[in-house]
Homo-oligomer: A and B are copies of this chain.
């Protein structure tokens, strides 16, 4: 049973609309396989309470994901991940997720006036550390 709890991190200062952040993160977790088909998402009201956000905002995110056929919202029942998407779609979502995540990171770092070489260096250093830490993964 994959009863994993949905964990989202909303950044209220990012400038990105909250509903967009929810859409992006759910998409990313589905594309990455963290959320699997038939998995039930939190109710709009429960997720709204957890994120300290109005439930209409969550409903808007769910509606967008539903229209994209990524989740299936069912009145009176709940919200579920749809059957596995075509690999091509999954791959696209995965790539978009990484690009969005990276863009947020870089724009923040550059705004704080870190140089591109500093950033590159830090990313490489930390990746190397992670290499040694948990490389043999499956």
Taking beta carbons and an 8 Å cutoff, which residues of A are in contact with B? 9, 12-13, 17, 28-29, 31-34, 72, 74-75, 77, 82, 94, 97-99, 101-106, 108-114, 116, 118-120, 122-124, 126-127, 130-131
Contact = CB atoms under 8 A, between A and B. Distances in A.
Given A29-B112, A34-B113, 8 more contacts: A12-B74, A99-B126, A101-B105, A102-B109, A102-B123, A106-B123, A110-B130, A123-B123
9 contacts: A12-B74, A32-B113, A98-B118, A101-B109, A102-B109, A102-B122, A105-B105, A116-B131, A123-B123
A99 B127 CA distance: 12
Contacts of A82: 13
- Chain copies in the assembled complex: 2
Most B CB atoms within 10 A — which of A9, A97, A98, A99?
Answer: A98
